[in-house]
């Protein structure tokens, strides 16, 4: 593995008196005044003095002072100038936080303890007394290091200061800022980060062990905390003159860095350009400010059209990254509006389209699907805020389960034809059936191998689930022997394994949308959709394809039809992952949940009854199976029902899934295969389903 080697600059020993005590570093002295900054960091001060637009008020003023040869006075003038600039709109870009939570979090920060990705970590000190910014957790996880250097936790110091007041919070902010900036001059020529930034190879930040200068963290620093907190702490005497100037100099360096280096066609781009745009708008006195803002807006306009399909789905096909991208697309629009520079109507329409996906895809309890790298987050606060902003009473109706707003004019079943996601519902109430069927592309990032996966919720609870994401350790792995690989692979999804192996990667993007009456059909009585995975299975010889159709008889049940196309014998394993709170039993070959006081599901295999059935829960070896993660960093065992058998050739089989409040009674059902049709019969009637034909050929003969 490549590792970057970077040492503290020699002049850091000037600002930090090196400790000679065996017991560890002392409380170290730092520069606080303009004079100390000039004496210790003249190059930073000179760079800052050159960064201002000569035609701006402050630029004209310091030019006159510099002409007299008084650089220290010019630096004082910069400090004085920003104390007169009351840019409250910049402070208003901070994401809000609960005041009591902010007090507790800020209290930990005073003791060098930070909550990073849900883990409370004491940040170790380096040999000169500052934070060890390369720290990636007590249990190593690069995400800890990224979060530490992204500085999204810093606003709690301001929110706590508003609530409580007092200098310690301001001094802590001052110290963290000066510490990070002193330890992080812009990396010079030859630094290993340029192996990533300047290369078209597959070298990644993880390959060089870099957690401090990723462009994503640079964007987060500028967009989520630095610009706003610079203005928020202006009135405070404990915010030292030296740190104010250091922040300004580093803002210039980081903005220029982002201007040159940033992601493209990626959700990172939205966060990077959010930081660049805000820096330019918040500091218009900088000579490059207009170039930064114009560039950021152009990139964001290009990206929202490149990243977002016409149906509003972001190309990574992940509800979590949908929000990440949407939040920053919207933040940039808000920044420009507050600076009296609105964006185009087409840009705002794309933002509305992205919210439309969030509103219409969420479960009846308001939580999002776990497609690709996602967590089980509550979307309602976001959708409710957007409903007010965009005057969408239908979103309000969905988020409130019909208590407020106006009922949507469209049926509850919704297909996002470019994203390839079918959201199948019986209604908008809190107890409604909800199911998710993935027949779309692989996605451009954060991918899971979950083509044709099905999730089901009903009667206020999850029944069949996606495994979630759990961790980013071993980030690129699909090996089910690793935790990351398990949660990304087919093993944690309701799909089919071939010869014990999961799916390979599929197409990254959709070349065309799904077509109504061909790929899916929604009628008053039923919803039907079909998809195919034809891209092969890891380590499996021969041509193997999996085709899956889902038929939902509204308010009744789901019928899942699986077709395996194969040119030789294979073993197959059909996986059904149940929510962790589901009590599972096997009755014959049927799997059913038995929670007497909740909604339940009965899973009935149809066709040839030669399955071997096994319940796997919380297994770690030889491959991981039976685990669920609703939030990053958390996992719990969940029951996975595995149906397995050997097939000699291509075959078709089906599954009847029935949900009910309380125990689900046994159902008599029969499946017949005819030349071009599948005939499904119960005591309620008969349904004829085309195997490969047009879904308009479906016939219902219900009693």
Q: How far apart are CA 300 and CA 472, in angstroms?
A: 27
**CA 181 from centre of chain:** 28
Output the pLDDT for position 130: 92
- Among 210, 245, 261, the domain-final residue is 261
Q: What are phi and psi of 243, to 5 degrees?
A: -70, -35
Residue 58 lies in a domain: no
Residue 416 lies in a domain: yes
Q: For residue 336, is pLDDT > 80?
A: yes
Environment class of 212 (CB within 10 Å of its CB; exposed 0-12, middle 13-18, buried 19+): buried
- Looking at the fold, whether 197 and 283 belong to one and the same domain comes out as no
- Looking at the fold, whether 460 and 380 belong to one and the same domain comes out as no
Mean pLDDT of 281-293: 97
Output the pLDDT for position 29: 59
Among 347, 366, 344, 355, which Cα is nearest to 314's?
355
Residue 298 lies in a domain: yes
Q: How far apart are CA 399 and CA 368, in angstroms?
A: 12
Output the pLDDT for position 567: 92
- Residues 408-463 have pLDDT tens digits of 999 999 999 999 999 999 999 999 999 999 999 999 999 999 999 999 999 999 99
- Among 367, 393, 419, the domain-final residue is 393
Average pLDDT, the chain: 92
The model's confidence at residue 4, banded by pLDDT at 50, 70 and 90, is very low
Q: At what angle do helices 167-183 and 241-260 cross, to 10 degrees?
A: 50
- Looking at the fold, whether 230 and 292 belong to one and the same domain comes out as no
Output the pLDDT for position 165: 82
Q: For residue 400, is pLDDT > 80?
A: yes
- Among 331, 359, 393, the domain-final residue is 393
Q: How many residues does the chain have?
A: 703
Residue 540 lies in a domain: yes
Output the pLDDT for position 538: 96
Output the pLDDT for position 100: 86
- Looking at the fold, whether 116 and 223 belong to one and the same domain comes out as yes
Q: For residue 536, is pLDDT > 50?
A: yes
Work out the percent of the chain whose per-residue pLDDT is above 70. Answer: 95
SS3 sequence of 240-286? CHHHHHHHHHHHHHHHHHHHHCCCCCCHHHHHHHHHHHHHHHHCCCE
- Looking at the fold, whether 634 and 682 belong to one and the same domain comes out as yes
Work out the percent of the chain whose per-residue pLDDT is above 90. Answer: 83
Q: For residue 23, is pLDDT > 80?
A: no
Mean pLDDT of 329-342: 93
- Residues 212-256 have pLDDT tens digits of 999 999 999 999 999 999 999 999 999 999 999 999 999 999 999
- Looking at the fold, whether 252 and 298 belong to one and the same domain comes out as no
Among 334, 575, 293, which Cα is nearest to 449's?
575
- Residues 104-131 have pLDDT tens digits of 999 999 999 999 988 899 999 998 889 9
Helix (H) or strand (E) holding 184: none
* Count of alpha carbons within 13 angstroms of residue 130, beta-carbon side: 23
Q: Among 136-145, 301-310, 389-398, where is mean pLDDT lowest?
A: 136-145
SS3 sequence of 121-170? EECCECCCCCECCCCCCCCCCHHHHHHHHHCCCCHHHHHHHHHHCCHHHH
Q: For residue 22, is pLDDT > 80?
A: no
Residue 451 lies in a domain: yes
Query: Both tokens of residue 184?
Result: 């992080």
Residue 327 lies in a domain: yes
Which residues partner with 469 through β-bridges? none
- Radius of gyration of the CA atoms of the chain, in A: 29
Overall number of domains in the chain? 3
Pairing of strands 113-116, 461-464: unpaired
- Looking at the fold, whether 343 and 487 belong to one and the same domain comes out as no
- Looking at the fold, whether 176 and 275 belong to one and the same domain comes out as no
Residue 27 lies in a domain: no
- Looking at the fold, whether 270 and 252 belong to one and the same domain comes out as no
The model's confidence at residue 61, banded by pLDDT at 50, 70 and 90, is very high
Q: How far apart are CA 329 and CA 348, in angstroms?
A: 9
- Residues 461-491 have pLDDT tens digits of 999 999 999 999 899 999 999 999 999 999 9
Query: Both tokens of residue 484?
Result: 């990351």
Residue 236 lies in a domain: yes
- Looking at the fold, whether 428 and 360 belong to one and the same domain comes out as no
The model's confidence at residue 99, banded by pLDDT at 50, 70 and 90, is confident
- Looking at the fold, whether 201 and 298 belong to one and the same domain comes out as no
Q: For residue 21, is pLDDT > 70?
A: no
Q: Mind giving me the DSSP string for 327-346?
A: HHHHHHHHHHHHTT----HH
Output the pLDDT for position 355: 98
Output the pLDDT for position 5: 38
Would you say the C-alpha torsion 92, 96, 102, 105 has a positive or negative sign?
Answer: negative
Mean pLDDT of 283-302: 97
The 3-state DSSP class for residue 694 equals coil
CATH number at residue 250: 1.50.10.100
Mean pLDDT of 380-406: 97
- Residues 80-97 have pLDDT tens digits of 999 999 899 999 999 888
User: 248: how many CB neighbours lie within 10 A of its CB?
Assistant: 23
Output the pLDDT for position 11: 28
Q: For residue 7, is pLDDT > 90?
A: no
SS3 sequence of 519-574? CEEECCCEEEEEEEECCCECCCCCCEEEEEEEEEECCCEEEEEEEEEECCCEEEEE
- Residues 647-690 have pLDDT tens digits of 998 999 999 999 999 999 999 999 998 888 999 999 989 999 99
The 3-state DSSP class for residue 207 equals helix
Domain hosting residue 287, numbered range: 265-393
- Looking at the fold, whether 238 and 298 belong to one and the same domain comes out as no
Q: Among 330-344, 354-368, 634-648, where is mean pLDDT lowest?
A: 330-344
């Amino acid at each position: 593995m490549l590792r970057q080697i970077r040492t503290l600059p020699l002049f850091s020993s000037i600002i930090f008196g090196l400790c000679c005590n065996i017991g560890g570093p002392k409380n170290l002295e730092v520069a606080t005044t303009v004079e100390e900054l000039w004496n210790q960091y003249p190059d930073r001060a000179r760079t800052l003095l050159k960064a201002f637009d000569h035609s701006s008020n402050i630029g004209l003023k310091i030019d006159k002072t510099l002409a007299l040869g008084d650089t220290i006075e010019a630096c004082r003038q910069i400090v004085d100038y920003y104390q007169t600039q009351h840019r409250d709109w910049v402070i208003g870009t901070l994401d809000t936080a609960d005041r009591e939570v902010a007090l507790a979090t800020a209290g930990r920060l005073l003791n060098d303890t930070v909550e990073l990705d849900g883990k409370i970590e004491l940040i170790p000190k380096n040999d000169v007394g500052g934070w060890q910014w390369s720290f990636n957790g007590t249990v190593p996880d690069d995400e800890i290091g990224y979060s530490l250097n992204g500085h999204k936790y810093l606003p709690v110091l301001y929110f706590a200061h508003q609530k409580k007041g007092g200098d310690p919070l301001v001094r802590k902010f001052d110290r963290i800022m000066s510490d990070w900036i002193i330890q992080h001059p812009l990396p010079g020529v030859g630094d290993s980060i340029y192996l990533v930034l300047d290369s078209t190879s597959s070298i990644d930040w993880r390959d060089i062990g870099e957690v401090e200068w990723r462009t994503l963290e640079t964007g987060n620093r500028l967009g989520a905390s630095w610009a706003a907190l610079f203005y928020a702490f202006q009135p405070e005497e404990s915010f030292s003159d030296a740190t104010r100037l250091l922040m300004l100099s580093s803002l210039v360096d980081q903005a220029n860095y982002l201007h040159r280096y940033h992601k493209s066609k990626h959700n990172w781009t939205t966060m990077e350009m959010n930081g660049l745009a805000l820096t330019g708008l918040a500091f218009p006195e900088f000579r490059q400010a207009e170039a930064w803002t114009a560039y950021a807006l152009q990139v964001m306009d290009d990206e929202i059209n490149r990243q977002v399909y016409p149906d509003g789905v972001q190309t990574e096909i992940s509800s979590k990254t949908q929000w990440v991208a949407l939040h920053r697309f919207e933040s940039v629009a808000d920044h420009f509006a507050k600076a009296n520079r609105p964006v185009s109507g087409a840009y705002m329409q794309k933002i509305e389209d992205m919210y439309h996906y969030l509103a219409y895809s969420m479960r009846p309890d308001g939580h999002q699907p776990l497609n690709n790298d996602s967590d089980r987050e509550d979307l309602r606060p976001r959708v409710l805020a957007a409903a007010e902003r965009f005057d969408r009473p239908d979103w309000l109706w969905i988020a409130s389960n019909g208590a407020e707003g106006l009922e949507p004019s469209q049926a509850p079943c919704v297909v996002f034809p470019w994203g390839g996601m079918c959201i199948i519902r019986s209604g908008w109430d809190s107890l409604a059936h909800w199911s998710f069927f993935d027949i779309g592309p692989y996605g451009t990032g954060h991918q899971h191998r979950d083509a044709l996966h099905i999730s089901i919720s009903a009667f206020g609870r999850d029944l069949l689930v996606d495994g979630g994401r759990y961790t980013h350790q071993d980030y690129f792995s699909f090996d089910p022997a690793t935790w990351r690989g398990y949660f990304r692979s087919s093993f944690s999804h309701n799909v089919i394994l071939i010869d014990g192996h999961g799916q390979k990667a599929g197409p990254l993007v959709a070349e065309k949308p799904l077509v109504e009456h061909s790929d899916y059909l929604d009628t008053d009585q039923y919803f039907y959709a079909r998809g195919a995975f034809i891209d092969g299975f890891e380590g499996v010889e021969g041509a193997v394809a999996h085709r899956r159709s889902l038929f939902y008889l509204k308010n009744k049940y789901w019928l899942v039809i699986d077709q395996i196309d194969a040119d030789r014998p294979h073993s197959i394993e059909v996986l059904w992952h149940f929510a962790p709170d589901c009590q599972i039993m096997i009755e014959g070959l049927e799997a059913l949940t038995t929670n007497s006081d909740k909604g339940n599901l009965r899973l009935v295999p149809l066709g040839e009854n030669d399955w071997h059935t096994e319940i796997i829960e919380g297994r770690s070896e030889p491959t991981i199976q039976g685990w669920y993660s609703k939030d990053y960093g958390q996992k719990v065992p969940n029951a996975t029902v595995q149906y397995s058998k050997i097939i000699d050739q291509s075959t078709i089989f089906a599954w009847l899934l029935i949900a009910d409040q309380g125990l689900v009674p046994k159902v008599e059902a029969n499946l017949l295969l005819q030349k071009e049709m599948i005939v499904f019969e119960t005591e309620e009637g008969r349904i004829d389903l085309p195997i490969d034909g047009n879904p308009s050929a479906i016939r219902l003969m219900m009693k």
